[in-house]
Amino acid sequence: MTARPDLHEANRQSWNAATMAHNSHKGDQASFLRRGGSTLFPEEIALLGDLEGLDVAHLQCNAGQDSLSLVQRGARVTGVDISDEAIAFARALSRDSGLSARFERADLYDWFASAGRRFDVVFSSYGALCWLSDLAAWADGIASVLRPGGRFVLVEFHPIAMVFGPDWRFAYDYFNRSPMAETGVGDYVALSGEGLTPDGFKTGVVDFRNPHPSFEFQWGVGDVVTALAGAGLRIARLVEYPYANGWRPFEGMRDLGGRRMAAPEGMARIPLMYGLVATSH
């Protein structure tokens, strides 16, 4: 599939609207970060390893909370996102928290072509891949901005979870490769409550309805691994988890502690997210 900048543009507008709703539910994020708070979960911390003194590119960084948490771990961070609102918020949060990072607003595919520099680590996480219209070009872009011996780290919701509707009934085709038109990026922060607000949950915007439609893409684990391998990266680790960090999309999900959300008691376990490390030669 070739890249679809027309759909990316629709998604930019949808994310601009949603980002304001998402951040309305979060507490004083700058103060939270100044006090040493972090929005990173143990899984990505473990996969990322030591970041002290390293140059890190955070792809699809959203409003910068995770990017600035990477700065706390000693990294020099460049965050990239398509949303104007997200990047504006990230820059303000960087200023107000005292954690210095570079934030760039760009369609990811355009950014790969113009980045002009390389990084020790490239990182992406949680709900990022479904916005990518061309997985091969994405993987080639990652390879192009990694230094020799660098690593790409991904923590993502498992695509098998994406076949279910909210009631755990099969609703979507795992192997669908056509763009899926949606009513717009929803307010998943409100739905997940404290799962995605370690700085404290606020009611904020109520009954958010996005005025801009969005378009998503379904990629299987095999698609992701094949794209990265095809770009010349070596898969060093692939791990699956029977819970989802912070995200509570289905009925009856239970908190295992540490904001890890699992399927209801008595339901057979399935992978709800996965992590991957790929290295450059």
Q: So what's the pLDDT on residue 23?
A: 74
Residue 183: other Cβ atoms inside 10 A: 12
Q: Residue 246 in contact with residue 259, Cβ under 8 Å? A: yes
Q: So what's the pLDDT on residue 61?
A: 96
CA triple 237-78-82, angle to 5 deg: 95
Amino acid at 217: F
Question: First and final CA of the chain: distance in angstroms?
Answer: 26
The pTM (predicted TM-score) of the whole model is 0.92
Measured distance CA(251)–CA(119) in Å, rounded: 40
Measured distance CA(19)–CA(171) in Å, rounded: 27
Q: So what's the pLDDT on residue 129?
A: 96
Domains and CATH numbers, the chain: 5-279 (3.40.50.150)
Helix spans in the chain (H): 5-23, 29-34, 42-48, 65-72, 84-97, 108-114, 135-145, 188-192, 221-230
What is the full per-residue pLDDT of the chain (281 aa) written as tens digits?
Answer: 688 988 999 999 998 988 888 777 777 888 889 999 899 999 999 999 999 999 999 999 998 999 999 999 999 999 999 999 999 999 999 999 999 999 999 999 999 999 999 999 999 999 999 999 999 999 999 999 999 999 999 999 999 999 999 999 999 899 988 898 888 877 767 776 666 667 777 777 788 888 989 999 999 999 999 999 999 999 999 999 999 998 888 999 999 999 899 999 999 999 999 999 999 98
